[in-house]
Amino acid sequence: MARRRSREKQPSREKQLLNEQLKIEEGIFDNRTMLRIGKLFNKGVLASMEFIIARGKEADVYLADAGEKVGSPLLALKVFRLENARFQNRVKYIDGDPRFGKVKGSVFAIVSEWCKKEYGNLLVAEAAGIHAPKPYAFSGNVLAMEFLGEEGKPAMTLREEELEDPEKTLATVLEDTRRLYAHELVHADLSEYNILLVGGEPYMIDFGQAVHIKHPDASRYLERDIFNILHYFEKKYGIEKESSDVLDFITAPA
């Protein structure tokens, strides 16, 4: 006769529901990621997960139903892959940033620090008043933030859309870059791939690599951001601006 399991050893109803929610067609997460997602579930940030909406080199983003602690029905859940060796090359964006110490330890420690960093950078972006997703919470390698899109459909990237008023869009991106810099942050990976269009407005995303302006490479990263954006708008829409003039605009004292 099979031995009946004690109640103490049986998984809670909440855990059973969460396990079922995570059995989506993309596969089941590893145990550590499941625990981190479970924490967000228990804190009332996450109610359930729907489906994957974006795949990246370092993380996947899922559409999720928000919990009672979030003031909107949906959120985006960014799950960083623990097996990704690329994070070893990302340490350069953390080392040298005065807000962080030397990152040591396992890949999980590095990925967790990266997730924490993106959450903190999004808080700075929110304080700066720029167009960027609002951060809700993070746990280990999992980040919960505002969903950018309509009716569960994610917003398109700048590259995927044809702009009606590219001059205005470029002006907004540069103004947001200036505001971000005034709050001592450089995005460091700005391009047409990391800007989403929401209601006609450009929203910056992917803030994990963003650095404090005192980072030794902050100036180089800012110049790269400016080059990438100006190059895209010139090539796509024929808008010409001098990089030096834009740099002066962004870095001028408030």
| Segment 162-211, tens digit of pLDDT | 999 999 999 999 999 999 999 999 999 999 999 999 999 999 999 999 99
* Cα–Cα distance, 143 to 150 (Å, whole number): 20
Query: Which residue numbers are catalytic?
Result: 189, 206
- Identify whether residues 192 and 144 lie together within a single domain: no
Report pLDDT for 58. 85
Q: Is residue 167 part of a domain?
A: yes
- Could you say which of 150, 172, 189 is where a domain stops? 150
- Could you say which of 107, 124, 150 is where a domain stops? 150
The set of long-range contacts for 215-220, using a CB threshold of 8 Å and a minimum separation of 24, is 215/93, 215/96, 215/97, 215/98, 215/186, 216/96, 217/92, 217/96, 218/186, 218/188
- Identify whether residues 69 and 146 lie together within a single domain: yes
- Could you say which of 95, 126, 150 is where a domain stops? 150
**Do residues 142 and 233 lie in contact, with contact meaning Cβ atoms separated by under 8 Å?**
no
Owning domain of residue 88: 14-150
Check the CA dihedral 143-148-154-159 and report its sign: negative
**Do residues 184 and 214 lie in contact, with contact meaning Cβ atoms separated by under 8 Å?**
yes
Q: Which of 140, 119, 147 is nearest to 61 (CA)?
A: 147
Report pLDDT for 94. 79
pLDDT for residue 243 is more than 50? yes
- Identify whether residues 38 and 104 lie together within a single domain: yes
pLDDT > 70: what percent of the chain?
84
Residue 7: how many CB atoms within 10 A of its CB?
A: 6
Q: What angle in degrees, to the nearest 10, is found between the helix axes of 107-128 and 166-182?
A: 110
CA distances for 47 relative to 86, 115, 129, 147, 154, angstroms: 31, 21, 28, 14, 19
CATH of the domain at 206: 1.10.510.10
Q: Which of 212, 210, 218, 174 is nearest to 189 (CA)?
A: 210
Report pLDDT for 196. 98
Q: What is the pLDDT of residues 83-140, one digit of tens each?
A: 765 656 667 787 778 887 776 667 788 888 899 999 999 999 999 999 999 999 999 9
